[in-house]
Structures are given as structure tokens and as C-alpha cells.
């Protein structure tokens, strides 16, 4: 783990970064089940770039920038048209596979990293993109979530950080000049903020999808292996194992540092608490910058991941996710144009337009980030971060049970009881 120098306020901002948020779960994947199987075919990369294309995704907040990029694509290829088919994220997870498979939408389509990608790949929806030259433009350490059985079927486009966002002004006002590098330091930080009349964390306990983000930080150094949740689902690990019990016990230590009725708070009220300076941290992720800035947040913000072990034992200092996996539909009769659109989005200059407009990093090399928030957290692209563990789950019930255990502990349930309750659901699902 890198050593942390003594930091001035300015250095603190540079080290921890400025981040913010999108109104939806933008960079977040949601778990499901993976049971389909089917072959992939090579995309027709040399076909004519003509006709109507459907671009299926869930990022309604990105519609304006995609409209702009589509207009530019049309100028390059006057005989091609692209229409966005946008669904809410929950609907997209529930129905996109069948819609894309049936050819109703999605000549070009996207998938959440993890379960949905595996489902769609197993069903044979993704054309094989392995021969595309633009693959070389992507970071080799970020493209793996688009691989399936050794073949590059999708291109993860977004790179986000699933880590608490903090108010740098409040940190500065309370004498916090360097990031905590162990668990005692994090608890001390929370106590300092609480003693100063500020709620340390606005915990969105009623929104399980957003609650899970903190869990990634909490387990990243506690777990005995990086595939900890894969092994819970397979039965090799259990929620009652010492490492997960330790995690739940640390959640219990956070009870004094969240707002009243934290388990009944949705993400929007939590954002409001943070925006109004009632809370110093929003434990979700960098993908919430748009929502926070739209709420009028002017103060500098940063990213901070709790380190749950002694500093010398920490392998990771943060959490990242590579998602919004772009793909070409095998059912499309216009794969040439669809492939051209994927290649167009994979141009670093085009990707930069997308990134700076949405305040989300991308997985391509050579991208010029001009947005001040992205510039401030750009160093996180090179820190020792773990790929978001929670999306290792491919079973929704198991994922929810594990996440709910953490919420229950915040609400007062004993760690042992919460672990046993979660494990009971795991046992029912893996039998």
C-alpha cells in the first residue's frame, strides 16, 4: 500500500480527489442469474454503414450527450441513423435480454457488468468483437469484464469508483488533513466529525442498490481472497465465517456515525443531507457527481475508502467498476453500421466528450479529461483499487441477503444474527 505523506488541504484534495454523482445508479451493476447458453458470432466489421440503428441502454441522464455524439456520427456516416432506446435501469435489467434477443431493440446494446453480461453472453446475444482494432485503445486491466470464455464480446465503457464521497470543506474545518489509512483512523475521523456537530455519513439504508457500495470497501481487505462473494455463492465461504463476521462487527461500530432512521433513508434524502452540509460523507460512489452538482453543491468533494485493517496489511485503497458494456447484437441485420458506431464511441476524442459531459471516467487510454472533478480524481485511475466485489454475485437473492445483513446491523441486529439470517438464504439458494 502506498505511504500517505503529510497533507495540506490542497494536497488532501489532490490525493483523495474530487468526485460527484449521477442521478441514477449509472456505473452500478445489478445481480441476477446466469443460466443461458449460446454461441457468439464475429461482428461483420466491413458491412455498409447505412440504415437505422437502435442503441439500447439505461442511462437516461446521458441522453443529451449521446444525442450530440450521434449527430457527429451521422455527419461522418450520412446514410446511417441512430435512435436511443432507453429504459430505467431496473426495467433494463429485467427485460433487456429478451428484447435484444428478439431483435426488438439494440443493434448496439449495453450490459451491466457481471450477471447481466453473463446472461446475455450465454444467450449468444453478443457478436465477437475480438478482431476489432479499437480493442487496443482500451486499458488491458479494465477490459476483462467484457470477456466471456476467453473471447472479447463486449467493451466496458465506464470507469467509476464505488467509494464514499466526502465534503472536503467540512474535513478541512474539522482539522482532517490526511486520509485515514486504517480502521481506527476511520473511526477517529467519524468521531471528530460527530463531535463537531456533523453527521459523519448519510447512509441510504432503504436503497439496497446504493447501500451495497460501502460493502465493497468494507470487505476488500477483510476477505481472504478477491473472489470472496463468488465463494459465498458457491458455498466455499459462508456469511458466518470470521472475516464476514468481522465486517459486520465493523458495521456495528458505525451505528453512532449515521443519521437517525438510516435504514429507512432512500438515496435522494441522503444526497440532500450531503448537499446541505448536514453530513460529511455519502457512502456511494463517484457516479453521483451529476446529482450532487445539480443539487447546487459548490464545495470541493473527494473520494475516501474505509481501510478496515492495519495500514501495513491493506492490499487495496479503493474500489473501481468497469461497466456499461457495449456490444453488437448477433440478431441485428445491420452489424456493419453497429460495429462502426462501437468503433466511433471508442475514439479517445469521442470518449472524452462522453466522459467530461457525464463526469465519469472511461476505460480507454489517451483520453483528455477536462472536467475539473474528473481531473481531481484522475489519480484514482492508478491507485491500488479492487474491481467491485459485490457484482461477483450472479444470484439476486444471495446478493440481497448479504447486503441486507449489513443494513440490519446498522439498524441494531447483532452481527451474529445478521450473518446467520443471510447464510440461511445462501444455503437455500445453493442447495
C-alpha cell at 245: 463476521
Phi-psi region of 313 (alpha: psi -120 to 50; beta: other; left: phi over 0): alpha
Rg for the chain (alpha carbons), in Å? 21
Indicate the SS3 state at residue 80.
strand
C-alpha cell at 111: 450490459
Cα–Cα distance measured from residue 166 to residue 349, given in angstroms and rounded to the nearest whole number: 30
**Chain segment 25-46, per-residue pLDDT in tens:** 333 433 233 333 455 777 666 6
CB 38 within 8 A of CB 330: no
What is the band of 428 on the pLDDT scale with cuts at 50, 70, 90?
A: very high
**Taking the CB of residue 141, how many other CB atoms lie within 10 A of it?**
10
Instruction: Give every CB contact of residue 220 below 8 A, 6+ residues apart in sequence.
Output: 305, 315, 316, 319, 386, 389
Q: Is the pLDDT of residue 92 over 60?
A: yes
The residue whose grid cell reads 445539480 is: 294
This prediction's pTM: 0.86
Alpha helices for 77-179 (secondary structure H): 89-101, 115-122, 168-173
pLDDT of residue 315: 97
Q: Is the pLDDT of residue 23 over 90?
A: no
Average pLDDT over residues 148-167: 96
**Chain segment 271-314, per-residue pLDDT in tens:** 999 999 999 999 999 999 888 999 999 999 999 999 999 999 99
Determine what percent of the chain is predicted with pLDDT higher than 90.
84
Cα–Cα distance measured from residue 82 to residue 100, given in angstroms and rounded to the nearest whole number: 16
pLDDT of residue 255: 98
**Chain segment 311-346, per-residue pLDDT in tens:** 999 999 999 999 999 999 999 999 999 999 999 999
Determine what percent of the chain is predicted with pLDDT higher than 70.
90
pLDDT of residue 31: 29
CB 183 within 8 A of CB 309: yes
pLDDT of residue 7: 35
Residue 298 is given by DSSP the state: -
Positive or negative torsion for Cα 26, 32, 34, 38: negative
C-alpha cell at 409: 446491523
**Taking the CB of residue 401, how many other CB atoms lie within 10 A of it?**
22
Alpha helices for 102-163 (secondary structure H): 115-122
Helix axes of 242-253 and 396-410: crossing angle, nearest 10 degrees: 40
Average pLDDT over residues 121-147: 95
Average pLDDT over residues 400-428: 98
Q: How far is CA 223 from the centre of its chain?
A: 20
What is the band of 5 on the pLDDT scale with cuts at 50, 70, 90?
A: very low
pLDDT of residue 44: 66
User: Higher pLDDT residue, 15 or 294?
Assistant: 294
Q: Is the pLDDT of residue 182 over 50?
A: yes
Cα–Cα distance measured from residue 289 to residue 295, given in angstroms and rounded to the nearest whole number: 10
C-alpha cell at 279: 453530513
pLDDT of residue 11: 38
Q: Helix count (H) and strand count (E) of the chain?
A: 16, 13
Side-chain-side CA neighbours of 377 within 13 Å: the count stands at: 35
Which domains are assigned to the chain?
Answer: 51-160+322-368 (3.40.190.10), 162-319+388-430 (3.40.190.10)
Amino acid at each position: 500500500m502506498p505511504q500517505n505523506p503529510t497533507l495540506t488541504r490542497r494536497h488532501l484534495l489532490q490525493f483523495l480527489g474530487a468526485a460527484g454523482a449521477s442521478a441514477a445508479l449509472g456505473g452500478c451493476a445489478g445481480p441476477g442469474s446466469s443460466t443461458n447458453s449460446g454461441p457468439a458470432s464475429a461482428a461483420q466489421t466491413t458491412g455498409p454503414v447505412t440504415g437505422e440503428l437502435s442503441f439500447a441502454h439505461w442511462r437516461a441522464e446521458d441522453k443529451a450527450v449521446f444525442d450530440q455524439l450521434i449527430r457527429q456520427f451521422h455527419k461522418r456516416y450520412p446514410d446511417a441513423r441512430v435512435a436511443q432506446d432507453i429504459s430505467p435501469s431496473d426495467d433494463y435489467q429485467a427485460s433487456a435480454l429478451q428484447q435484444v434477443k428478439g431483435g426488438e431493440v439494440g443493434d448496439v446494446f449495453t450490459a451491466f457488468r457481471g450477471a447481466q453480461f453473463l446472461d446475455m453472453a450465454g444467450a449468444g446475444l453478443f457478436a465477437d468483437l475480438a478482431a476489432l482494432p479499437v480493442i487496443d485503445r482500451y486499458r488491458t486491466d479494465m477490459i476483462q469484464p467484457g470477456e466471456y470464455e476467453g473471447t472479447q464480446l463486449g467493451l466496458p465503457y465506464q470507469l467509476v469508483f464505488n467509494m464514499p464521497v466526502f465534503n472536503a470543506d467540512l474535513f478541512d474545518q474539522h482539522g482532517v488533513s490526511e486520509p485515514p489509512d486504517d480502521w481506527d483512523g476511520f473511526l477517529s475521523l467519524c468521531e471528530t466529525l460527530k463531535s463537531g456537530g456533523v453527521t459523519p455519513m448519510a447512509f441510504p439504508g432503504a436503497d439496497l442498490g446504493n447501500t451495497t457500495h460501502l460493502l465493497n470497501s468494507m470487505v476488500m481487505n477483510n476477505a481472504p481472497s478477491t473472489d470472496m462473494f463468488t465463494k459465498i455463492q458457491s458455498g466455499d465461504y459462508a456469511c458466518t465465517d470470521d472475516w464476514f463476521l468481522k465486517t459486520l462487527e465493523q458495521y456495528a461500530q458505525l451505528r453512532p456515525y449515521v443519521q437517525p432512521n438510516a435504514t429507512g433513508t432512500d438515496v435522494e434524502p441522503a444526497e440532500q443531507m450531503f448537499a446541505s452540509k448536514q453530513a460529511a460523507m455519502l457512502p456511494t460512489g463517484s457516479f453521483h457527481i451529476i446529482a450532487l452538482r445539480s443539487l447546487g453543491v459548490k464545495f470541493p468533494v473527494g473520494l475516501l475508502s474505509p481501510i478496515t485493517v492495519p495500514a501495513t496489511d491493506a492490499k487495496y485503497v479503493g474500489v473501481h467498476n468497469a461497466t456499461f458494456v457495449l456490444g453488437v447484437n448477433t440478431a441485428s441485420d445491420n452489424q456493419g453500421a453497429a460495429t462502426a458506431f462501437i468503433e466511433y464511441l471508442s475514439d479517445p476524442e469521442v470518449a472524452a466528450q462522453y466522459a467530461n459531459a457525464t463526469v465519469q471516467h472511461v476505460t480507454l487510454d489517451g483520453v483528455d479529461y477536462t472536467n475539473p472533478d474528473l481531473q481531481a480524481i484522475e489519480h484514482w485511475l492508478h491507485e491500488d483499487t479492487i474491481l467491485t466485489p459485490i457484482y461477483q454475485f450472479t444470484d439476486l437473492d444471495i446478493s440481497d441477503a448479504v447486503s441486507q445483513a449489513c443494513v440490519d446491523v446498522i439498524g441494531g441486529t447483532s452481527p451474529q444474527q445478521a450473518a446467520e439470517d443471510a447464510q440461511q438464504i445462501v444455503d437455500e439458494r445453493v442447495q
